[in-house]
Structure 1
Amino acid sequence: MVSIIQFYISHSILLALFFIISIYSNIQYIYHRIFIKFLSLAYYPNKTPQIIRDDVNKLNKIPKRVATILDLKDDDDENGGVDGLINDISELIAWNLSSGIPQLIIYEYNGIINNHLQELQRYINKNLSIYFGTDSKPNYLIKIPHSNKSIINQLGDSIDLEITLLLKNDGKQTIVELTKTMGDLASNNELSIKDITIDLINEELIELVGLEPDLLISFGPNLDLQNYPPWHIRLLEIYWESDNINVNYAVFIRALQKYSHCKINIGK
């Protein structure tokens, strides 16, 4: 009889804790969603570069290289599918150009956008015309390291923004392939083992994938790096908003605001 009573008491306590945690989680989710909605209203660029520049000019510093993690949403979701992903990338490019940031890294796990590069370029040009006007569109360069492709849209002498499209193969798999290549060269006496150093590996990774960013922005509801290249996250700042599900300017500018106040200490 005592055991039965203890079981029901324990069961009741667990149920009570479950309901309390569920209520707390729902309240927290609603609060985050309302907060993000408020931010979206407070920070609204209206496709106007001057508004973005005014926001950025208030900051102490801005990053030279910004990386973003994007997700391919289901076609039935708001701003979903490939079209939604292309729209998000186009907006990010316009925001970075308006902010004066010279390099942008787009990481999408499956790299589906690599199959729609012409469509992406058309949409980027259309969006930049809305932001900057038809006669004063900035120049940009799109690089796809894994397939060794590049797309240049240049009307002047300089490139205003360099865009790098990364996918999962540019992460851990690149390290594996580089290790195999160096192993083969060493076994064939084409590369001395003494020459295989951290500096050499770092130089090769930069050559294959590019320099590491200063700031990483995740637009998902939770922080999920999704096998993002591990050597790119050694010193960068990471920013995300809990329960956010969209690529929006408010999260972008708040990430820049956080970076402007951060201090990076490099020690031994």
Structure 2
Amino acid sequence: MDLSDEIARVLIPPLQRVQSSKILRFTLGFFWCLLHLPVSIVHLGSYLIKQLLYYMISSGLLQKYQNLQLDKLRYLAIVVESEEAKNTTKIKQLLSWLSSIGVKYVTLYDMEGVLKKSVETDLKSSENPSVADGNAVASVHQERMTVELLSFSDGKGAVAKAASFLCLQYLEGDSVGYNKMEPVFTETDVTNALKAVGHGGPDPDLLLVYGPARCHLGFPAWRIRYTEIVHMGSLRSMKYGAVVKAIYDFSKKHQNYGS
């Protein structure tokens, strides 16, 4: 066997394996694109239909969205991702929309407290609001709507104060010494403790989340036990029609709270 035959014997099998691997990757990639294409088409079609619906709602072309029933919506909460919360122009536009719709009480929340630093100052400097500051939240009362501002630190502080309150109540109880029983705190006890330290607050009926995350981003959990949560997408691309549709859909829902 000469040298050329020996080289061919050594090199051809690896080359064949490389070519087979390329063909396999190409085949799998082709089938992946083939499966992904209808999904992308459906997603694009759904997006376009929603955008058209939002436009028709904003233009007043759909009569059923014109007269919203706000009987169920006593309190509305808005959760904004902190980076997007820096866009105060969008926040004020959103508040203006909610005020025009007829919402009476709005809670604004972001984790880092960006809204408490920016929106509160803007609302206080407006012409007619009267301002009332609480222990951990600031409530700005406008002519038609009350705006409550919250951050993640408010929730941490509330839990700490409520725990101290419950511990103090336990230590001041009637039982003393070895006869004192182990503390058992119910949900009602915790709720009453939070109210006693000034952090109860109303439970939002509907919570709208603006940002990439589909979660409440640390919004006080004890205030969203029966709250309907809706992800609204990015604040930069918010639509008036989307807000109206979320409120309309909520007004048509029936919630079962159990026995």
Q: Same fold (TM over 0.5)?
A: yes
Distance 1:120-1:151 versus aligned 2 partners, 3 A rule? closer
Alignment partners' CA distance in 2, 1:39 and 1:59: 19
The residue that corresponds to 1:203 in the other structure is 192
Partner residue of 1:16 out of 14, 30, 49: 30
Distance 1:113-1:81 versus aligned 2 partners, 3 A rule? closer
Partner residue of 1:167 out of 151, 156, 171: 151
The residue that corresponds to 1:223 in the other structure is 214
Aligned positions, number: 234
The residue that corresponds to 2:75 in the other structure is 65
**What is the Cα deviation at residue 265 of structure 1?**
0.7
**What is the Cα deviation at residue 262 of structure 1?**
0.5
**What is the Cα deviation at residue 115 of structure 1?**
1.9
Note the 1:1-268 alignment, pairs <5 A: 11-12=25-26, 14-20=28-34, 22-24=36-38, 26-28=40-42, 30-44=44-58, 55=65, 57-59=67-69, 61-73=71-83, 82=86, 84=87, 86-116=88-118, 117-122=120-125, 147-153=136-142, 160-171=144-155, 173-174=156-157, 176-178=159-161, 180-182=163-165, 184-185=167-168, 189-190=171-172, 196-206=185-195, 207-220=198-211, 223-241=214-232, 245-268=236-259
* SS of corresponding position for 2:193: helix
* SS of corresponding position for 2:148: strand
The TM-score with structure 1 as length reference comes to 0.67
* SS of corresponding position for 1:67: strand
- Please, which runs of 5 or more residues in structure 2 have no aligned partner? 1-12, 175-181
Alignment partners' CA distance in 2, 1:175 and 1:120: 25
Letter in 2 for 1:42: M
Letter in 2 for 1:37: Q
CA contact (8 A) 1:45 1:249 kept: no
**What is the Cα deviation at residue 203 of structure 1?**
2.6
Alignment partners' CA distance in 2, 1:119 and 1:243: 22
**What is the Cα deviation at residue 62 of structure 1?**
4.3
Alignment partners' CA distance in 1, 2:193 and 2:237: 34
Distance 1:110-1:256 versus aligned 2 partners, 3 A rule? same
Alignment partners' CA distance in 1, 2:82 and 2:97: 20
Alignment partners' CA distance in 2, 1:246 and 1:146: 34
Identity rate of aligned residues, in percent? 19
Alignment partners' CA distance in 1, 2:251 and 2:258: 21
RMSD of aligned C-alpha atoms? 4.0
Rg larger in 1 or in 2?
Answer: 2
Alignment partners' CA distance in 1, 2:134 and 2:200: 6
Q: Indicate the larger mover: 89-98 or 13-22.
A: 13-22
CA contact (8 A) 1:143 1:164 kept: no
**What is the Cα deviation at residue 166 of structure 1?**
1.5
Letter in 1 for 2:55: L
